[in-house]
Amino acid sequence: MAKFSFEHSFEIDTLKRLVAQHQHQFRHQSLVDLYYRGEKLSVTAIELGQQQQPCPTVLFVGGVHGVERIGAQVVLAFLDSLLNRLPWDTHLQQLLKYVRLAFVPVVNPAGFLRGSRGNSNNVDLMRNAPIDSDEDVTFLVGGQRLSPRLPWYRGQNGMELETHALIKYVQQLQGESSSVIVLDAHSGFGLRDHLWFPHAHTRQPFAGIGYIYQLMQLFEKGYPHHSHYRLAPQSHFYRTHGDIWDYLVASNVSEKPFIPLTLEMGSWAWVRKNPRQLFNFSGYFNPQKTHRHQRILRRHVVLMQFLIDAAYAQVIEQIKPQQLTQLTQQANRFWSKKAK
């Protein structure tokens, strides 16, 4: 992962290498097999840790949009680090007795081969889930069914195979876990790193907002020099149809906490520092300079490790109903002010 590359199959090849080298250390499965131009592709899930009983789970997702390669690379680099630490890191070994770590690093492999946001049908998977907004959404960006030749195409015939596979897998994890925290890595929004949480389809508050508020407080106190993220509901920026995480929140019948976070790395900052990236479509979404690429792979490790440590400490599970009510009230006041 140290070598900078934007070869069309770099992330897919890296995932295959990790499976081949470390498969004795984890469980892996194909969530769905796909075919693109005669090549067999797989949406692969990897799991480390507890399997015998319900436990906190942290899921790391990347590569939903094929052109946003840095998201998959951040997830793969972190997975690679954990696998290389596992033989000697006694803290990690102990943690994995009580926590499940799951990874789906490349949700959209055909998009990576095509160099496109959408999959082989040019469907934007993050606009493809069966959930519609009752509110106005941003034109085109919010999801459209006008044409697959336009960006943010939602599709016409139900869920794509990749969308369905990811949703089914997350629902499986929800049934096997005492809580599920998700970090879904993307790029391409603004000059800052954003952490978004539901909802994307409505301005109505997310029922789990109290849990997120508690995690935010712990992170800012524990890592005051790493709080460069702007944490807010996605609807504060724009609203969309078909968001996968909104759909999973809306369809979750379990009382177990489900906390999806979307990391939007601020790719405009990379363009500002290297304007020549504007002449390369991939440059709109990914750092091009070697030193900057390596810095981004390091930049989010603290956040990812924090989510794992919070799961190990069962921070979410230990919140009592009365405390959750108070946290929810505080969170709603906090983000309602931010929205104005």
Residue type, 241: H
Q: Average pLDDT in the 117-142 region?
A: 96
Asked if residue 3 has pLDDT above 50, the reply is no
Residue 1 inside a domain? The answer is no
Residue 57 is classified by DSSP as E
Asked if residue 276 has pLDDT above 80, the reply is no
Q: Give the domain CATH number at 110.
A: 3.40.630.10
Asked if residue 51 has pLDDT above 60, the reply is yes
How much is the pLDDT for 78? 98
Residue 4 inside a domain? The answer is no
* Strand partners for 100: 49, 57
Residues 174 and 256: beta-carbon distance below 8 Å: yes
**pTM of structure:** 0.95
Residue 2 inside a domain? The answer is no
Q: Average pLDDT in the 209-236 region?
A: 95
Residue 185 inside a domain? The answer is yes
How much is the pLDDT for 167? 98
What is the per-residue burial (b if ≥16 Cβ within 10 Å, else e) of 279-289? eeeebbbbbbe
Choice among 1-10, 29-38, 66-75, 245-254 with the minimum mean pLDDT:
1-10
Q: Average pLDDT in the 40-64 region?
A: 96
Mean residue pLDDT across the chain? 92
Choice among 22-31, 138-147, 281-290, 306-315 with the minimum mean pLDDT:
281-290
Asked if residue 242 has pLDDT above 50, the reply is yes
Choice among 91-95, 151-155, 194-198, 224-228 with the minimum mean pLDDT:
224-228
Domain range enclosing 327: 10-338
How much is the pLDDT for 339? 67
Residue 5 inside a domain? The answer is no
How much is the pLDDT for 293? 85
Q: How many domains does the chain have?
A: 1
Residue 62 inside a domain? The answer is yes
Asked if residue 5 has pLDDT above 50, the reply is no
- Residue 70 to residue 320: CA distance in whole angstroms: 38
